[in-house]
Structure 1
Amino acid sequence: MLEHALTPEWLLVGKALAVALPQAAPLDAAIDACTGAIGDGHSLRDPLELRPLPLSGIPGWHPDGEVEAFHRTAPCYQPLRAGRIYPEPLKVG
């Protein structure tokens, strides 16, 4: 992925496990919940459970990342495919 980052015209998209974490919860609780859910077989049973994460939209990853129009028009932001449903975020706390 680092090689792709050297080519700014390539818009990077990763995959992420969504976690709902209360603001006051310690990060360790989120890590414990994630590893526990994966170990118990409740999360990551199927790679399609991972949500797309448009890395190019994170400030500093792409030269146009600070431009509002970029976030409306960049192809790394795509609507969900018809019929695609992601699991609810993993709830912590």
Structure 2
Amino acid sequence: NPKKSAFSAWKARLREGVPPEAMLDGVRRYARYLAATGKTGTEFVQRATTFFGPDRNFENPWLLPVSGTNNQRCVNHISEPDNEIPPGFRG
């Protein structure tokens, strides 16, 4: 049962002295990350057993992706056609 193993992982972290609020903060960060990357409800969401497991993924920063950088172009922009034939391709 995934809930049982997830709860076991949660209790193991509590026994190690991890405050519940630290784990809940990790859940909140991860939820924001999933929403920002469009992965909520997909097969890429970690199971709670893994998230609270010995690797302590709840401690990851789960940084949100940076958007709007200057090296990205708008996906709705249509570029002007290039009507020139490069010198190496002229017959």
If the length of structure 2 is used for normalisation, what is the TM-score? 0.30
Give the number of the structure with larger relative contact order, counting CA–CA contacts within 8 Å between residues 6 or more apart.
1
* Larger gyration radius, structure 1 or structure 2: 2
TM-score (norm 1): 0.29
